[in-house]
Structure 1
Amino acid sequence: MSTAPTLSIGPIALDAPVVLAPMAGITNTAFRRLCREFGAGLYVSEMITSRALVERTPETMRLISHHESESLRSVQLYGVDPRTVEQAVAILVDEDRADHIDLNFGCPVPKVTRRGGGSALPWKRDLFRAIVTRAVQRAGDIPVTVKMRKGIDDEHLTFLDAGRIAEDAGVAAVALHGRTAAQHYSGTADWSAIAQLKEAVTSVPVLGNGDIWQAEDAVRMMRETGVDGVVVGRGCLGRPWLFGDLAAAFAGSDERHRPTLGQVAHAFRRHAELLVEFFDEEDRACRDIRKHVAWYFKGYPVGGDARRALAGVESLAQLDDLLGALDHAVPYVAEGIEGQRGRAGSPRKPALPDGWLDSPELTPTQRAALIEDESDTRGG
């Protein structure tokens, strides 16, 4: 009889070796709660800007809030200034706002990388080391992890050096998305790079991320790369029950969620209900749930008129009428439903600060610009 793999991140023992990847505008309290209702693992907040947290902007303070049912409170921080990141960590720790802190070094979005943040930052090794070291030291007993990409592009790979630096700094785990910033979400995730990182980082868990669309992909990644756990992002869009499938797969069970259209409609309605509770505003919750329509109903025979109506829903009462008009008996058909989710896009040249790739060391001008840029709290 096989034993289910276990994963510990510092003092946190997970009931499944699975982590929900932070996704901007997606992994708020409502979605995290919904995923948890289906499965197991660690559920991380959407990315929080360190400067905005230090300045306690109202939106940021709302984003770091957790429902009382969230027994493990996980917050991901983004920052480019070691002192500001340290201050943000202090708020989370001293005010008992998190049980786990993840540092973002994987975001490929231009507004982040052009400031030298996200997946651009590990190229500057001293800056990366300073941020991680100060965050870990200030966090104390709260485990700190890092999530990163392979590098900026194929000519500027950083993941092995960054992994070793993070390990030496005392992080509790390292996660790698097997793509470069230049790839964005296009192409295929390089699982061989994840395996290389696992070989290089030996004293803390290594987690793999990229192209996990169903439970079998996660099991295969674990087997092929030797990683200690998986990080799941776009694969769970419109499929919160994927976390139930993952828990079952790692427990050795063949049981999988194969929802009828009625069950999908019920999950969609539950998501909207949780968003109303999160935003404390029905109108805003309905605007937010609209972006999930295509993901939830992907592959199901829901006509264009119905989809357009759902994508313009303005109240829960209207949503109930629209969902009630669907044929709830329509069965699950794997073809068309499973597989890639979210926009893959195409490779693109990363937006970077001037002269960023000239040297892996920061110039005084670059250092000053980083601190100045982070004072802009938009997006946090």
Structure 2
Amino acid sequence: MVDAAGLYVCEMITTRALVERNVKTMRMIRFAPGESPRSIQLYGVDPDTVGRAVKMIVDEDLADHIDLNFGCPVPKVTRRGGGSALPYKRNLLRRILRNAVANAGALPVTIKMRTGIDDDHLTYLDAGRIAQEEGVAAVALHARTARQHYGGTADWSHIARLKETVTQIPVLGNGDIWCADDAMRMVAQTGCDGVVVGRGCLGRPWLFRDLRNAFNGSAERARPALGEVAEVMIRHLEALVGTLGSERSAVVDFRKHVGWYLKGFTVGAELRRELTSVESVDEFRRVTNNLDQGQPWPPNTDTPRGKSGERSKVLLPEGWLDDPDDGVVSEESDVSGG
């Protein structure tokens, strides 16, 4: 299922949008010629719709692997009972997993999840057991609750407990892996079989090479100078143009990446402002020429990037916490993305 460089999963796709062949959704699940393995990440709350989406993927040969997202903490997902809210409904979770696995055929189905809704409603151990019983190929745990969102520190001890509980399929750990050495510490502390990286790769696409080296026993790590980072930024932007099909959209979307790439480097405020206000790839390339190309990789820069902060509460459907066994199905959004 996974090659030496790891498995790369696409952006979260809603199952309803997929079965209805939403134009944006169909564009989001495209893969490059020869790309393998192809992995699609699905979000769904209705067992029948999830089953239809998985069958569609199999029948039309759209992917080689399916990952079901039960970890997303954003309000537009949890308020419909999806993402990290769904495992609280144990029977509903079981029905979704059973339908997914039954329709997947030879394709492996994996899941990702959080420890629970909040500290009073932890769900991951039950969810892990259910996943194992229903034939899921592997489970990944982000060691935070939905209420924690991306704040505080991930509690890796939960990953160790899940590994002790789920013994027949691989358990993958996620949360606060900012460099390859973090991944090695997680494996050593929890006994997990592998790691999942989310925010850690923001502005650090070479992290995956570092992870491959680390898991192969090599101490070699990427430490690019600022000029090399600029070259990667340009390649990223150019690839984004090809993906979105619009230079303007790509340039605007890429602005959020600039700070992540430059984190730790000494770059003046005016130059940063220029990089986040350019209107074309050529202009971005021109502005990067003003960077100190030889500035070395800064020390102690493998620190949090991306979203942060906790939520005061998790938005849930009315009465969601009343009965974990009622198996209620919420109305699924028809909007793709997470």
Shorter-normalised TM range = over 0.9
Instruction: Verify the 8 A CA contact 1:184 1:345 in the aligned structure 2.
Output: yes
Q: Structure 2: state its 5+ residue gaps.
A: none
2:3 to 7, 14, 23: 14
1:212 matches 2:177:
yes
Change (3 A) 1:61 1:378: closer
1:161-172 to structure 2, matched below 5 A, reads 161-172=126-137
Whole-Å Cα distance in 1 between the matches of residues 235 and 261 of structure 2?
Answer: 12
Question: Is 283-292 or 222-231 further displaced after alignment?
Answer: 283-292
Whole-Å Cα distance in 2 between the matches of residues 309 and 92 of structure 1?
Answer: 43
Change (3 A) 1:375 1:321: closer
- The offset of 1:345, in angstroms, is 1.2
* 1:377 corresponding residue in structure 2: 335
- The offset of 1:197, in angstroms, is 0.5
SS at match of 1:207: strand
- The offset of 1:361, in angstroms, is 2.2
* 1:253 corresponding residue in structure 2: 218
* 2:206 corresponding residue in structure 1: 241
C-alpha RMSD over aligned residues: 1.2
2:252 to 274, 283, 287: 287
- The offset of 1:120, in angstroms, is 0.3
* 1:191 corresponding residue in structure 2: 156
1:265 to 230, 240, 246: 230
Q: Deviations over 1:135-180 (max 9, x none)?
A: 0110010000010000101111110000000000001100000000
Q: Structure 1: state its 5+ residue gaps.
A: 1-11, 16-39
Moved over 6 A (4+): none
* 2:321 corresponding residue in structure 1: 357
SS at match of 1:278: helix
Query: How many positions carry a matched residue from both structures?
Result: 338
1:346 matches 2:335:
no
* 2:100 corresponding residue in structure 1: 135
Q: Deviations over 1:240-298 (max 9, x none)?
A: 00111111111111111111100110110000011111122211111111110110011
1:232 matches 2:176:
no
Instruction: Verify the 8 A CA contact 2:14 2:334 in the aligned structure 1.
Output: no
Q: Deviations over 1:43-95 (max 9, x none)?
A: 00010000000111111001111111421100100000001111111111110
Instruction: Verify the 8 A CA contact 1:184 1:348 in the aligned structure 2.
Output: no
TM-score (norm 1): 0.87
1:45 matches 2:3:
no
Whole-Å Cα distance in 2 between the matches of residues 135 and 331 of structure 1?
Answer: 48
Instruction: Verify the 8 A CA contact 1:176 1:209 in the aligned structure 2.
Output: yes
1:178 matches 2:136:
no
Question: Is 56-65 or 280-289 further displaced after alignment?
Answer: 280-289
Whole-Å Cα distance in 2 between the matches of residues 165 and 237 of structure 1?
Answer: 32
* 2:167 corresponding residue in structure 1: 202
Whole-Å Cα distance in 1 between the matches of residues 41 and 305 of structure 2?
Answer: 23
- The offset of 1:338, in angstroms, is 1.6
1:33-112 to structure 2, matched below 5 A, reads 40-112=5-77
Instruction: Verify the 8 A CA contact 1:260 1:332 in the aligned structure 2.
Output: yes
Instruction: Verify the 8 A CA contact 2:117 2:146 in the aligned structure 1.
Output: yes
SS at match of 2:297: coil
1:274 matches 2:239:
yes
Q: Deviations over 1:1-39 (max 9, x none)?
A: xxxxxxxxxxx1431xxxxxxxxxxxxxxxxxxxxxxxx
Question: Is 338-347 or 90-99 further displaced after alignment?
Answer: 338-347
- The offset of 1:219, in angstroms, is 0.6
SS at match of 1:356: coil
SS at match of 1:230: strand
State the one-letter code of the partner of 1:14. Answer: D
SS at match of 1:208: strand
Whole-Å Cα distance in 1 between the matches of residues 18 and 315 of structure 2?
Answer: 25
- The offset of 1:348, in angstroms, is 2.5
Instruction: Verify the 8 A CA contact 2:10 2:40 in the aligned structure 1.
Output: yes
Whole-Å Cα distance in 2 between the matches of residues 124 and 14 of structure 1?
Answer: 34
TM-score (norm 2): 0.97
Whole-Å Cα distance in 2 between the matches of residues 93 and 67 of structure 1?
Answer: 18
Whole-Å Cα distance in 1 between the matches of residues 179 and 311 of structure 2?
Answer: 24
Change (3 A) 1:249 1:77: same
State the one-letter code of the partner of 2:323. Answer: S
SS at match of 2:172: strand
Instruction: Verify the 8 A CA contact 2:15 2:44 in the aligned structure 1.
Output: yes
